[in-house]
Structure 1
């Protein structure tokens, strides 16, 4: 399981960091950490459709306790674990070689067949306007439209794709391993969205080629947006970037 691999690497980076605050919330679960270099905020998309009557087994919250449960079958523990890993990643990440760009900038002129994992309407619209042959897959039926495929078809169609742009929430819902396995032809595999704040080195050796995420520039503004349950309020405190994994 890729999350097990990621958490093992992340646990090596927690020394010297303290858990300041956290919340399992909508639209994002978040974890705030602090070290000698300051604070860092990590988030993970909260997926209401995945939540059942779980009991969180973490009695004494800590950065290490959260990360150790990042590969839990309990989606609440998994979401908090990934947010904690992202907080650690954002504290340590070096963006000097990253591009302050958008995921669309990664696509070549003739990208071939593109799979969009997760119905992200602005991105789907931009891809269609570029004339790209795009296949949009979505698990949550509430987000379907006439141009959306059920995620049940990913298994059959991904081997045909030349490029995959996947919402990093696939880490939260546990489908990342299947996506990487089935997208065997894809030359480009991008994890996108705020949940993709991982250190690139955590994914080296996998088929992931890029991370297109957000760096929190204004922690207070981003945190206020999160506490108010606002996508826009959170994103106003961020800046998009693209980092190569390999």
Structure 2
């Protein structure tokens, strides 16, 4: 196994969230100690919300250096920021509205922009302006949090999306074939430039997909979008609960 990849299994979803929260807090403090800020990209979807609520409560709300944290979003749905389906609104309600983060350090995606491709380029420009360059010359997040769907998608990189093959753009307007919708999303080149990528995956409905993503055969893993996340120079961490890990050899 790649020595830059780690798999941790919690006894249940709450335990997995606790483990992930501790890792996030430690990574944040180390980043601020190293270069004065913590650059974080949040995941959307349903799985991260309880994690964000956990981060928003003591002791982690007091352990994370929020005033030195820059928050971006790994993807966004094509809705206004105040819409119930907005990833930004979910994060705002569950986390950002409850911690002392600077307003100017929160960078939502413009999911309802008339020209999503242009909005994606402008979002990438924000990232380039704020983040340090990594070893490959691309901006490098201290931590990107990702979830995974039962179909193996991550961020808004769905099976069959042309955005999976993007090589140049850091942020793209992605087709979501299964939903016949478009979304804004980080691309693999940006994700794989991160110093740390953390997948939080819970539930037995994810078991088959995560078993494939964690396959020892890279070709098998790469059949799913989440299996193509392989940081070039950074660390890759999977935090699972026992239900998600049931088809893998990994145990709590």
Does TM-score exceed 0.5, indicating one fold?
no
Higher strand share: 1
Higher relative contact order (Cα pairs below 8 Å, separated by 6+ residues): 2
Please give the range of the TM-score, normalised by the shorter of the 2 chains: 0.3 to 0.5
Report the TM-score when normalising by structure 1.
0.38
Report the TM-score when normalising by structure 2.
0.37
